[in-house]
Amino acid sequence: MNLEKVVFGFFILLALTLNFGFVLGDIDNPDHHHAYELWAAILVSLIATVLKFGDRSHMGAVLLATSLVADLQLIMAAFVWAMATHVQGGTDAQIMPSVVSLAGGALLANLASGVLLIIETATLRR
């Protein structure tokens, strides 16, 4: 077993599941989406992105692209939420759908990354 591949797969799947956990719930209810869960999703997604830098194959480039998209979407979701909280004075039902939909876009990118990881693993020959 290759420990590097285990760590790589772990962070890709952890980024996907944390992102899913944040998005799950009523889209306009801030009580269903915790800020720490979004920050955890961002942190793990950034770690997964760093782990993808070493692969020079075409599949590695596509995996890196999906990870960069997820990072950008999650960072923008955090930015929108921070602006709403600290500039407007609170998170309301009008801002939360934007935050969740940005995180939902990141979820799709993480899902694509997970599917690509499974495809790459299935095509490996011993």
pLDDT digits (tens, 9 = 90+) for 2-16: 888 899 899 999 999
103 pLDDT more than 70 = yes
Q: Residues for the chain: how many in total?
A: 126
Query: What is the band of 91 on the pLDDT scale with cuts at 50, 70, 90?
Result: low
Assigned token pair, 34: 């915790």
What's the predicted TM-score (pTM) here?
Answer: 0.89
Specify burial of residue 70 (Cβ count, 10 A radius: 0-12, 13-18, 19+).
buried
pLDDT digits (tens, 9 = 90+) for 27-72: 877 778 888 999 999 999 999 999 988 778 888 899 999 999 999 9
